[in-house]
Amino acid sequence: MLETPFTRVVGCEVPIQQAGMGGVATPPLALAVCAAGALGMVTATLVPAAELTRILGAMQRTARGPFGVNFLLPFLEKRECVAIAARSARVVEFFWGAPDPTLVAEVHAEGALAVWQVGSAEEARAAEGAGCELVVAQGQEAGGHVRGRLGLLSLLDAVLGAVSVPVVAAGGIATPRAMAAALAAGAAAVRVGTRFVTAQESGAHPGYVKALLAAGAEDTVLTDTFSVLWPNAPHRVLRSCVEAAREFPRDVTGEVEIAGGQRIPVPRFGVLCPTRETTGEIEAMAQYAGESVGQVCAVQPAAAIVEELCQEAERLLRAAAPAP
Ligand SMILES: Cc1cc2nc3c(=O)[nH]c(=O)nc-3n(C[C@H](O)[C@H](O)[C@H](O)COP(=O)(O)O)c2cc1C
């Protein structure tokens, strides 16, 4: 019952995409998601070409199922990275910028699928026009940077009416009920971010995970507070980290390790979220969280999250539409 145009196009077993999520979406998380039958994603943001080649080569050797690579356009300096990603991964995905047919063509030239995460029906049409095989409709309930202005259901409705390629629903989905609702509305898959931040295999700092587990659905805020390195880009975070960052007395909140092992300072109001390698005032760093955070209550293996979502969503869909 959970076979959809998404599972057929991507070649995975279940209609779940783990969101690309900066330093949180590590290879161990993506590989665990793939092994569970869903689409695991890693980030290419701030990853040098040689390091990306090494990471994706290792993933290709061990992945049990297709995986994807996520690019944030404001940080895409070397277009050669797109070709590197497309040579190894089934899916190459872009976010935060006008859909670009030349980038899509580079992905296709290496044999991968091109995906664009969008925040409006207009942007979805442009992504389809640029040649993307899938679009992700991101509602403003989403954790992390939020592209559009609509809640997921309104946006999904508009995007489904605007394009004929399969649409993945993103934003606030952490439970089987939300997954079943998105699929019943016509989404070909759901994209899950915040719930995977607390997966056992995630790269998130334990202090960040603890804050997510303690938070309720009303404890997030859409803000432009964490804008150093990436201005004019609204994002949804825990309200507590906005307050802590505003009160923090110094210009640097800590240190973070980026790909290749280099350690760099985290400026106050910096865009990087705290990973396992981050040190310093974790509470005052960008703790991205969707409204789904209220449903995120335990640290679990990624496979258990995928299994729970699929089994129960399938049961709900069957109950809503009993076989004749
Ligand atoms: C910690 C975190 C980091 C994120 N980083 C990225 C990113 O690097 N690239 C991207 O396309 N989306 C990013 N997002 C947004 C997700 O792609 C997705 O839209 C969002 O997580 C969906 O909402 P949810 O968190 O309620 O599941 C991030 C989200 C979170 C929670």
Phi-psi region of 37 (alpha: psi -120 to 50; beta: other; left: phi over 0): left
Contacts of 71 (CB under 8 A, 6+ apart): 44, 45, 81, 82, 85, 92, 93, 94, 95
* pLDDT tens string 129-187: 999 999 999 999 999 999 999 999 999 999 999 999 999 999 999 999 999 999 999 99
CB 73 within 8 A of CB 43: no
pLDDT (0 to 100) of residue 176: 98
By alpha-carbon position, which residue is closest to atom 7 of ligand 1? 21
pTM above 0.95, yes or no: yes
Contact 270, 286 (CB under 8 A): yes
State pLDDT tens for residues 277-293.
999 999 999 999 999 99
Q: Are the CB atoms for 175 and 192 separated by under 8 Å?
A: no
Residue 324, pLDDT > 70, answer no
Predicted confidence band of residue 108 (pLDDT cuts 50, 70, 90): very high
Q: Are strands 235-238 and 252-257 parallel, antiparallel or unpaired?
A: unpaired
Q: What is the pLDDT of residues 230-273, one digit of tens each?
A: 999 999 999 999 999 999 999 999 999 877 778 889 999 999 99
How far apart are alpha carbons 190 and 167 in whole angstroms? 9
Q: Determine the distance separating the centroid of ligand 1 and the alpha carbon of 73, expressed in angstroms.
A: 14
Q: For 168, how many CA atoms within 13 A lie in the half-sphere containing its CB?
A: 28
Ligand 1 pocket: which of 33, 140, 145 to mutate (most atoms <8 Å of CB)? 145
Whether 46 shows a pLDDT value over 90: the answer reads no
State yes or no: pLDDT of 50 exceeds 80. Answer: yes
pLDDT in tens, 77-92: 888 999 999 999 999 9
Cross-strand pairs, 17: 39, 191
Confidence of residue 303 (pLDDT cuts 50, 70, 90): very high
Q: Which residues sit with their C-beta closer than 6 Å to ligand 1?
A: 19-22, 24, 43, 45, 70, 72, 95, 117, 138, 141-144, 170-173, 191-194, 197, 273, 288, 290, 292
Distance 255 CA to ligand 1 centre (A): 22
For residue 323, the model assigns a pLDDT of 66
How do 252-257 and 279-280 pair as beta strands?
A: antiparallel
Phi and psi at residue 221, to the nearest 5° = -145, 140
What is the distance in A from the centroid of ligand 1 to the CA of 236? 9
> Which among 290, 266, 280 is positioned nearest to 196, based on CA atoms?
290
Which pLDDT score is estimated for 216? 97
For 12-26, how does the pLDDT look when each residue is reduced to its tens digit (9 = 90+)?
999 999 999 999 999
3-state secondary structure 58-70: HHHHHCCCCEEEE
